[in-house]
Structure 1
Amino acid sequence: MVKVDKRMSGGRAQVAKVALTGVALTMGMASHSVWAQSAGEQELPTVVVEGQKTAAQIGYKAEKTRVGKTKQALKDIPQAVTVVTEQLMKDKNADSLKEALRNVAGITFNAGEGGRIGDNINLRGYSAVGDLYLDNIRDYAQYNRETFNLQQIDVLKGASSMLFGRGSTGGVINQVSKTAQPVDSNEITVTGGSNSYKRATVDLNKAITDNVAFRLNAMDTKTTSERSGATSKRYGIAPTLTIGAGTQDEVNLSYYYLNENNVPDYGVPYVKGADGISRPLNVSTNRFYGLSNADYERNQTGIATASYTHLFSNDSSIKTTVRDAHYSRDLRATAPRFADRSILASAVTDSSVINRQRQARGAKEHQTAVQTDFNTKFETGRFKHEFLTGAEFVSERSNRWTNTNASVANPGTTVGNTDSSPALSSAYYSGFSRTNPNSYKAQSYGLYVQDTVEVAPKWKVLAGLRYDHLKANYKRDALGDLNLDIGALSGRAGVLYQPNDASTYYASYSTGFNSTAEAYQLDDRLVNTDPEKTRNMEIGAKFNLYGGRLGLRTSLSRSEKTNERNTDLASPDVYLLSGKRHTDALEFEVTGRITPKWDVFFNHAFMRAKIDNAAGTAAGTLGMTPRNTPRYTSSIWTTYKLPRGFTVGGGVEFVGKRFANDTNTTVVKGYTRVDAMAEYSVNKWLTVKLNVKNLFNRKYYEGVYTGHVLPGTSRSAEVSLVAKF
C-alpha cells in the first residue's frame, strides 16, 4: 500500500495524492484487462502503436494536434485551429514565440505594461496573457518564450475553458515540445546577421535501443538593436529521454531551462495632435529612451516534466503528466513619458523633455501540476463514441515585490538627445530595495468529460462539460490577507458534417470564465466578485485538397464577454459585472503544398470588435473598439524549390489600424511588412540560408500599450549555416 507522507504541506500532499490516483487508475485498468483475458480465456487484440510521423511535420500543413487533449485530426475539431509547424519557423528564422505567431491571423502584440515582462499577446481582441500553455499545461509565468525546443505551435481560437479551465476568452496558444524519437538525427545551425545578431542551435537525437531514445536541444543567442541601447542575451537547454517508444507503455522525461539577460525596450510615448487624437512620437526608430547602463530584464525558467502513457488497445489509452516548474524574474525598465503631458505634436522639438518613468518589479514563482487523460472509442448500438475524461490538479505559489529606490530618481532626457547611458551615482545602483511584498498560494482542480458521437453516417455530435474549483490566499504587506474560493462550470458543444474524407462542415458553441484571480492579483473589490463569463459561437468548414497536400479553412465566429468588470462610481469599493463586448471574426486559411515544390501558409482575419455595454468609470467607452483590435490581420508566406538546390521564398504581414485605449483617442496606424528568404542546399548535409526581415525598411509599430508603443524592427539580414548528420 502506498502512503502519502502526512508531513507534506497541503499542496504537496494533494499533488502526491492526485499523482498516485492517476498511476493507480492506470495500473487498475491494466490489471482489469489482464484479469478479463484470463477469465474468458481470450486473447487481447493486437495493439498497433503508431509512432510520431516525421512526414506529418514536414512542410506547412499539420495533420494532427493534441490541443483537444487527445491526438486527433484538425478536421475533427469544431473550432478554428491554426498550427505553426517547425518547418515554417525554420524557413522564417522565427527565433521567438512572438516571431512565430506573426503567422497567425487574429493575433496582436502588447508592449510591456505596468512593469510586465515577457510575451503579452491579444487573441481575437482579448488578452491571452494567462492562456499560454506548454504541452497542454498552463505556462503562466511572465517571460519571453523561445522556439528552439518547439515542434509546433497550436492556436485554438474561441472560448475553451471546457478543455483548459479559467481564461481562454479569445482562445489558447499551446507550445508543443520536441520529444526523443527512435532514430539517429542531428542538426546544428549557426546564424549571424545585422545588429550583431549571433545564434547557435543544436538538435541531437540518438536511438539508444529500438524503443529508448535521447534528444538534446540547446540554444545560445545574442543581439543588439537598431534602437541604440536595447539588447538581448539568452541561452537554453532541453534534454529529453523517451523509454518505451513505439510500445504500449511509454515514459517521457524532460527538462527545459531558459536564461535571459536583456536591456528591455518600452519604445516611444504618444503625443496629441491638433485633432485631439494621440499618435506615436514621430522620431527615428533608432532613438532609445531607456537607460542602457542601468535597465535590465533577467528571467530564469526551469520546467521538469514526466509523463506516462499506457495503450490498452488501438482505441484506448491513458496518460498521466506531472510537472514541476520554477520561474524567477527581475526587472528595472524605463517607460518614456512627456514631462508636459498636455504638449501638442506641433510644439514638440528636440529639446522637449521626456521623463524616464521607472518600471521595476520582480517575482519568484513555483507551479506543480498533475494531469490525467483517458481516451477511448466504443459503440452503443449504432452509435460510435470517441470519449474523453480527465482530471487536473495545479498548485501555484508566487512571491512578488517592487524594486524601489526612493533616494535617486531616473534622470530625464529630451526628444533629440536621448543619452541612453548617462553618468549615474553609486547610490543609483546600490540604493534599490524590495518593497510592497506580496505572496500568492493557490490550489485548483478541474474535472472534465467529453463525448463525440457519430449519430448517423457522416454526422457527429460533440458535447463536453468541465468543473473547476480555485482556492487562493493572498498575503499583502500592511493591507491584510485575502482569500478566494470559487467554482465554475464550462461547456462545449458542436455538430460536424463530414460528407467525405476531404471535407468537414461544423457549428459549435463553447463557454469560458475569467476568475477574479486570473492575473494572480487580488484586491478588496475582487474578493466577492463572480468570474467574468465568455462564450464563442462559430460555424466553419475545413477541406483537404490535392490528395491532402493542401488544407483550406474558413470560419465565422462571435466571441463575447457577457459580464465584464467595471468600477462602480457610486460604490468604488465593489465591481459591477455589467460590461459587455464582442468580437466578430471572419477567417480564411490556406496551408500546405500547391505542388511538390511550392509551399504556402496564408491566413486572414476580418475582425469587428465593439464594447456593447459599459458603466461606472468605463461609461465613456460605450460603442468603442476595444484596444489593440484591428479590423484585419493577415499574413502570407510561400517558398518555391528551384533546380540545383535553390529555394526562394517571401511573405507579407498586414495589420490594420489599432487603438491604444478603449476610448479610441490614441491611434496606432496599420502597417505592411515584407520578408524574404533564399536558400541553397550544397548537398544533403549542408545548407546556406539568407533571411531578410522588413525588406523595404518600412517604419511601423507593433507593441501597443496605453502610455507607449514599441517600433518594429528595421530592415535586417541573417545568414544561417545548417548542418545535418
Structure 2
Amino acid sequence: MARTAETKPSDWAKPAFLALSCVGFVSSAHAAVDAANDTAEADAADRPEVVVTGRHDDKPANVKLTAPLIDTPRSITILPETLIKDTGSASLVDALRTVPGITFGAAEGGNPIGDRPFIRGFDSQGSTYVDGVRDIGAQTREVFAIEQIEVVKGSDSVLGGRGSAGGTLNIVSKLPKLADFARGDVSYGNADYKRATIDVNHKLNDIIAVRVEGMWHDQDVAGRDAIWQKRWGIAPSITIGLGTPTRLTASYYHLHSNELPDSGLPYGYVCSATVCNAPAGDFVLSEPVHHVTTKGGITGTVPYSTFYGLKDRDFRKSNTDQFTMRAEHDFGSDIMLRNTARFSHTWQGYSFLLPDDSTGNVIGTTTTNATTGGVTQYTNGGYVWRRANTRAGVTNTLINQTDLTAKFDTGPLKHSVATGVEFSSEDAHRGTYVMATGSTISPRCNSNTIARYYCTSLFAPNPNDPWVNYASDTSSVPTPVVRSPGYGDIFNKGITRAAYLFDTVSFGDWLIANVGARYDDFTSTVRPGRATVTAPSIELRRRDRDWSYQAGLVAKPTRNSSLYVSYATSVTPPNSLLGEGSEQNSVGTTVTPLLDQLKPEKTKSLEAGAKADILGERLSLTAAVFRTESSNARVSIDANTVAFIGKKQVEGFELGFNGRIAKGWTIFGGYSYLDAKIKEAGLSALTAAAVPGQAAKTVYVPSINNGKRFPQTAKDSFTAWTTYETNAFSIGGGAFYTSRVFGGYSDNRTATQNAAGVVTINPATTILARSIPSYWRFDARASYKLDKHIELSVNAQNLTNKRYFNQAYASHYASVAPGRTVFGTLSVDY
C-alpha cells in the first residue's frame, strides 16, 4: 500500500488490460417447466423433465459450479424467462420479488434509486454479474434481453471475487441459437402503461446465427402523483461456429433510461442529541407519515400518492453500453477453453429528491412558530424540506476472464475441474450538479424557503411549483443548473488480478466432495476532488491480497436426492464499490492515518441442506439451514481512529419448491427466515458543549446499533407463483409476503460537562427505529392462445391495490410501492 502526493495521469489514462476467466454463475434449480409446451404434447405429463431455458439438462451452465445442481452443496435459485414473463416483470427488481430472502434497500448518494439487492441481509449491489462478469455501475436493470437470473446464496467470493458476503446475482443474456424464430409483445394498461419488446433469431447457415432483442417502455406509476418512467434498449449478437468445437460470440447491449425519480414519503419522527420530537420509549417505531398530528395541533392524512419533488428540478437519466466477445473451444468432450472479454460504460445523472425530516420539520419541534426580522420559522410541523441529492457519474470497466474445464479420473475417483484467471480494470468518477436548495439554512423551513419552494406542505405539495435556481440560498440572481467543475470530481480506480480452482470429486455413487479456492489481488486508488483548479491533487492507494475458499460434502441417498454440508468465505476489501454504492469501508478522500488502519471485512458461511427431485424429476424441493458471520467490519473508536471489531451474524433457514406438480400445473417459490443481528457496531460520538473555563469536548459511547436487527432485512419472507394451463387457456397468480423491515436506529443521548471539565452522559429517553410495516401482495395473470402463434394475456400486479412501502432508508424517507397495475399483452411467436 502506498500514498503519493501527486496525481499520476499515466496511471489513469493507460488502457486497462483484457483478462481471462469465466462466464459464470449459472446455478439452475430445475426451473419452472414450460406449461404451454407440456399441455401441447399429450405425453409430456408422464415424461421426467427438468427445463432450464430450453435445456433438458440438470447441470448448471456456470462452469465454476462443477456438478449438477442437485449435487452442488449451495442454496441456488434460478428464475427462467418464462417465469419473468408470466409475472409481468419489466425490471430486475420486479423479477426478484419472487425469490424469498432478498430485499431491496434505498440509498442516498451513489445509487439512490438503482438496484441495491440485499441477499441474506448483506448488500449485494457490488456482487451483480452479467454472463459471469462483474457489473458494478449503478443502474436500474431491464429484463428484455435476459434469458434467466441466477441467485447463489451464502458467502461466495470464491465464485465471483471481492464482496459477495450474502450471495450473488448473475444475469444470463439471450444469445443466438441454431433456429429461426421471432417473438414480439405489445402491452398497454392503466397509469398509461405502454411496453413493446421484440426478440428475433435468424440462422444464417448451419454454423452462424444472429439475434436481436429490443424494448421500448413508457409509463406513469400507478398510485403515485407525477412519477413517470421511460426507457428503450437494444441487444444484438452474432455467434459463429454453433454446433462446432470452436465458437465465437460478439454481443452489444444498450439501455437508455429517462425518468422522474421517486423517493416516497418522509418518516414522522426524528431523534438525535440535538433534536428529538418522538415520544419517550425504549423502541419507538417511526414509520412513513400517513395519519399525522403535528406539534402545532394540525391533524391530517398524507395520501400514499403524495410526491414532494419538483418537475422543474428533479430528473434521472442513464445510459448503459456493454460490448462482449466470447471465444470457446472444445478439446473433445471433456475439455473446454473459454475466454470472455467485455467493455462496459455506464453514465448516470440525477437530481433526486429526499423528503427530509432531519430538523424535525415534518412533525415539528415546537407548538408555536417564532418570527424574527420578518421571517417566520415554521417549527411546529407540517412541512417537508425538498432536499436534492445530485450526481453526474461515469463508470468504465474492462474485464477479461479465461476458463478451462475438464473431466478426468484418478483411479476410482472422478473429477470435474474448473480453473481460470481474471484481469480487470474498473474506474469511476463522479461530480454533482450545482443548485441552491436551502441546505445552508436552519431550521430548514421558514417563510423565505417556502417562497422559494425549498420547503413545501406536508399534506398538499405541488410538483408543478415554479422552482428557480439561484446563485446561492440567499441570492436573488437566477442561474442555470450546471455540472460541478471537473477538477472537483472524485476518481476511483480498481485493478483486479485473480486466479481460481474448483474440483468436484465423486467417491462412487454415494459421496461427493466439492472444493474451491480463489486468490484476489485488488488495488484500489482514489483521487479526491480539488477545491480549486490550482489546488494540488493527491492520490490514495492501497493493495489487498486475499484468499477465499469453499468446501462441501454431498451424500446421495438416491440418485435424485442429496444431503449436504458446506463452508464458504468471502472478503470485502476497502473501496470495493469504487464509490458506486453505499461504501461502509471507504478509503476516504484525505491523507490521514486512517489509510494505514484499513482492513478487509471477512465473512464465513456454514450451511446444511437437502435437495430432492420428485414426481418423476418434475418437482424440485430444497431445504437449508445456515449461519453467516461477518467480522472485521469497520467501526469508529474516536475522531481519528477506526477499529475492525464490528461483527454481524445471520442465522436462518430456507425452503424452496420449483417445477410441476400435475399436468399443466407449475409452481415456484419458497420461504426464508433470517435472524440477523448486529453483534458489535463500535462507538458513536457525542459533543459536550463548551462551558465557562472549558472548551467543547467530544466523547464516545456504545453505538445504538449494537444488538439491533440488520437494516434492510426482512425476518420472514414468502413467495409463491403458480400457473395452471388447460388447452389454450391458462390462469396463474402469486402471493408475496415480507415482514417488517428496519431502515436505521437513533437515540437522544447527550453529553454535558461542568466547570471542572467532568463529562456526564445523559441517558436516552427515546430509542427510535425507522421502519416500514410488513405486507402481503397478490398478483394474477390469465391468458388465452388464439392459435399456436398468438396469445392474449392480462396481468394484474398488486391485485388488491395494497398501499405498502418496499424500501426503507436509514433516515428521511421510505419508498412507496406502485398501486394496482393492470395491463394486457398481445404476444406473437413465429
CA contact (8 A) 1:338 1:353 kept: no
Change (3 A) 1:425 1:146: same
CA contact (8 A) 1:68 1:77 kept: no
Structure 2 distance, partners of 1:657, 1:611, is: 17
CA contact (8 A) 2:650 2:674 kept: yes
What pairs up with 1:18-29 in 2 under 5 angstroms?
Answer: 18=19
Q: C-alpha offsets along residues 359-391 of structure 1, whole Å, 9 cap, x if unaligned?
A: 101111110000001110111111111111100
Higher RCO (C-alpha under 8 Å, 6+ residues apart): 2
Indicate the structure with greater helix content: 1
Report the AA paired with residue 191 of structure 1.
S
1:519 aligned to which of 554, 560, 577: 577
* 2:782 match: 678
Report the AA paired with residue 288 of structure 2.
P
* 2:373 match: none
* 2:805 match: 701
CA contact (8 A) 2:111 2:138 kept: yes
Question: In the alignment, does 2:274 pair up with 1:191?
Answer: no
1:85 to partner: Cα distance: 0.7
Change (3 A) 1:10 1:520: closer
Change (3 A) 1:588 1:9: same
CA contact (8 A) 2:66 2:416 kept: no
Structure 1 distance, partners of 2:828, 2:462, is: 43
Change (3 A) 1:59 1:598: farther
- 2:769 is paired with a residue whose SS is coil
Percent of residue pairs bearing the same amino acid type: 30
CA contact (8 A) 2:729 2:783 kept: yes
Structure 2 distance, partners of 1:425, 1:343, is: 23
Report the AA paired with residue 680 of structure 2.
N
What pairs up with 1:26-65 in 2 under 5 angstroms?
Answer: 56-57=51-52, 63-65=58-60
CA contact (8 A) 1:189 1:201 kept: yes
Question: In the alignment, does 2:532 pair up with 1:449?
Answer: no
Structure 2 distance, partners of 1:672, 1:582, is: 27
Structure 1 distance, partners of 2:675, 2:251, is: 42
Question: In the alignment, does 2:819 pair up with 1:717?
Answer: no
- 1:417 is paired with a residue whose SS is coil
* 1:15 match: 17
Change (3 A) 1:13 1:401: closer
CA contact (8 A) 2:436 2:469 kept: no
1:547 to partner: Cα distance: 1.4
1:71 to partner: Cα distance: 7.0
1:66 to partner: Cα distance: 3.2
Structure 2 distance, partners of 1:262, 1:626, is: 31
Structure 1 distance, partners of 2:664, 2:285, is: 48
* 1:467 match: 519
What pairs up with 1:646-661 in 2 under 5 angstroms?
Answer: 646-661=729-744
1:343 to partner: Cα distance: 5.7
Change (3 A) 1:408 1:353: closer
Between 613-622 and 544-553, the greater mean CA deviation after superposition: 613-622
What pairs up with 1:389-408 in 2 under 5 angstroms?
Answer: 389-406=419-436
- 1:100 is paired with a residue whose SS is helix
- 1:369 is paired with a residue whose SS is strand
Question: In the alignment, does 2:325 pair up with 1:310?
Answer: no
1:56 to partner: Cα distance: 2.6
Structure 2 distance, partners of 1:72, 1:87, is: 25
- 1:689 is paired with a residue whose SS is strand
Report the AA paired with residue 326 of structure 1.
H
CA contact (8 A) 1:11 1:443 kept: no
* 1:264 match: 261
* 2:773 match: 669
Report the AA paired with residue 565 of structure 2.
A
Structure 2 distance, partners of 1:553, 1:133, is: 24
* 1:354 match: 384
CA contact (8 A) 1:206 1:214 kept: yes
Q: Let me know the Cα RMSD of the aligned residues.
A: 2.5
What pairs up with 1:434-445 in 2 under 5 angstroms?
Answer: 434-435=484-485, 436-445=488-497
Question: In the alignment, does 2:481 pair up with 1:431?
Answer: yes
Question: In the alignment, does 2:163 pair up with 1:167?
Answer: yes
1:431 to partner: Cα distance: 3.4
- 2:163 is paired with a residue whose SS is coil
Structure 2 distance, partners of 1:420, 1:10, is: 42
Between 118-127 and 265-274, the greater mean CA deviation after superposition: 265-274
What pairs up with 1:20-419 in 2 under 5 angstroms?
Answer: 56-57=51-52, 63-67=58-62, 69=64, 72-117=67-112, 118-225=114-221, 226-272=223-269, 274=279, 276-282=284-290, 283-338=302-357, 340-341=359-360, 344=363, 352-406=382-436, 411-419=454-462
CA contact (8 A) 1:115 1:331 kept: no
1:468 to partner: Cα distance: 0.3
Larger-gyration structure (1/2): 2
- 2:84 is paired with a residue whose SS is helix
- 1:717 is paired with a residue whose SS is strand
Change (3 A) 1:467 1:59: closer
Structure 2 distance, partners of 1:291, 1:176, is: 37
Q: TM-score, normalised by structure 1?
A: 0.90
1:164 to partner: Cα distance: 0.7
- 1:264 is paired with a residue whose SS is coil
1:99 to partner: Cα distance: 0.3
CA contact (8 A) 2:362 2:382 kept: no
- 1:83 is paired with a residue whose SS is strand
Structure 1 distance, partners of 2:673, 2:782, is: 31
* 2:35 match: none
* 1:560 match: 629
1:67 to partner: Cα distance: 4.1
- Where structure 1 has 5 or more consecutive residues not aligned to the other structure, the ranges are 1-7, 23-53
Q: TM-score, normalised by structure 2?
A: 0.79
* 2:293 match: none
CA contact (8 A) 2:362 2:383 kept: no
Report the AA paired with residue 480 of structure 1.
I
1:543 aligned to which of 612, 630, 640: 612
Report the AA paired with residue 625 of structure 1.
R
Q: C-alpha offsets along residues 333-358 of structure 1, whole Å, 9 cap, x if unaligned?
A: 11001375176499899971100011
Report the AA paired with residue 538 of structure 1.
E
Report the AA paired with residue 704 of structure 1.
A
Report the AA paired with residue 723 of structure 1.
V
Change (3 A) 1:68 1:12: farther
- 2:616 is paired with a residue whose SS is helix
Report the AA paired with residue 464 of structure 2.
S
CA contact (8 A) 1:57 1:87 kept: no
Between 548-557 and 513-522, the greater mean CA deviation after superposition: 513-522
1:10 to partner: Cα distance: 8.7
Report the AA paired with residue 249 of structure 2.
N
Structure 2 distance, partners of 1:682, 1:591, is: 28
Change (3 A) 1:345 1:278: farther
- Where structure 2 has 5 or more consecutive residues not aligned to the other structure, the ranges are 1-9, 23-48, 270-277, 291-301, 368-377, 440-452, 471-477, 531-536, 580-586, 685-701, 747-767
Structure 1 distance, partners of 2:738, 2:608, is: 24
